[in-house]
């Protein structure tokens, strides 16, 4: 099914999107067709490529080292969801879009079975670790390629969004979240955010959190009022800029 134009925000531009069978939101970033999946992953079907940002593996153990006790299951939960996405899409390439680890020592704190799961992930497909600010050294003992950025389907994939007009950029880092007033109260969800020129992915990690897309950190990144794709339990809901509220 082709995307259907909706919600024109200027006389010369209309967002185009369609629901996908998986509950995701299918749209375009520049000339590339992408699917924003309810998990928070972006799917590039033409290249059989799955992109996830900001896993922040071992964030729980990092906090525990500083005396802030969190349930130590964030890495396991995050990898469960990642493996489910790989199985559900049949991805031939998986791109980890930076801050895959919460800090530079996180890899050493991985449980042996979690490290084995990451090795298995790279065993039968291409695995690319894009460097982020939390994991600038990249993986030390785990397999896969390491890159500062890379191009796929005409898109530039990097961890941190660059200032100004960056057509075709897909990034993470900012952990976007949408806050919407609903009939039963206020709802806040992690979200994708795009203006059709570039996209910022939600954090995929279990403990990663989110920053309101109306925060000043997003100012100047979009050439028009962007569209948010808010994550629900089984679907992504498209939300126009005027429906979003500050925290």
What distance in Å separates the CA atoms of residue 61 and residue 53, rounded to the nearest whole number?
20
Output the CA torsion sign for 151, 46, 49, 1.
positive
Confidence of residue 15 (pLDDT cuts 50, 70, 90): confident
Q: Which of 31-45, 84-98, 170-184 has the lowest mean pLDDT?
A: 170-184
Q: Identify the pLDDT of residue 66.
A: 63
pLDDT computed for residue 187 by the predictor: 93
The pLDDT score that the predictor gives to residue 11 is 43
What is the separation of C-alpha 46 from the centre of its chain, rounded to a whole number of angstroms?
18
The sign of the dihedral angle between the CA atoms of 156, 201, 134, 143 is negative
Q: Is the pLDDT of residue 67 over 70?
A: no
Give the count of domains, the chain.
Answer: 1
Q: Which of 4-8, 70-74, 102-106, 184-188 has the lowest mean pLDDT?
A: 4-8
pLDDT average, residue stretch 8-14: 52
State pTM to two decimals.
Answer: 0.91
In this prediction, residues 31-39 reach a mean pLDDT of 96
- Per the document, the length of the chain is 247
Tokens of 168: 């075709």
Mean pLDDT of 111-137: 94
DSSP single-letter state for residue 189: E
Q: What residues make up the domain containing 104? A: 4-243
């Amino acid at each position: 099914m082709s995307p259907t134009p909706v919600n024109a925000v200027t006389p010369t531009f209309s967002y185009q999107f369609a629901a996908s069978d998986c509950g995701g939101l299918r749209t375009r970033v520049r000339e590339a067709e992408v699917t924003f999946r309810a998990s928070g992953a972006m799917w590039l079907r033409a290249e059989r490529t799955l992109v996830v940002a900001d896993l922040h593996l071992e964030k729980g153990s990092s906090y525990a080292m500083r005396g802030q006790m969190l349930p130590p299951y964030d890495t396991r939960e995050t990898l469960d969801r990642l493996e489910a996405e790989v199985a559900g899409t049949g991805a031939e390439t998986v791109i980890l879009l930076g801050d895959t680890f919460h800090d530079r020592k996180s890899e050493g704190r991985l449980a042996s079975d979690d490290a084995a799961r990451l090795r298995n992930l790279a065993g039968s497909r291409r695995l690319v670790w894009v460097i982020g600010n939390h994991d600038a050294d990249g993986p030390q003992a785990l397999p896969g390629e390491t890159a500062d950025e890379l191009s796929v389907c005409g898109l530039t994939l990097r961890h941190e969004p660059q200032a100004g007009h960056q057509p075709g950029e897909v990034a993470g880092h900012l952990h976007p979240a949408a806050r919407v007033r609903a009939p039963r109260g206020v709802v806040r969800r992690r979200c994708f955010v795009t203006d059709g020129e570039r996209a910022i992915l939600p954090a995929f990690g279990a403990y990663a959190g989110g920053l309101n897309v109306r925060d000043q950190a997003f100012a100047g990144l979009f050439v028009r009022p962007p569209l948010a794709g808010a994550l629900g339990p089984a679907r992504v809901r498209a939300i126009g800029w005027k429906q979003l509220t500050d925290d």
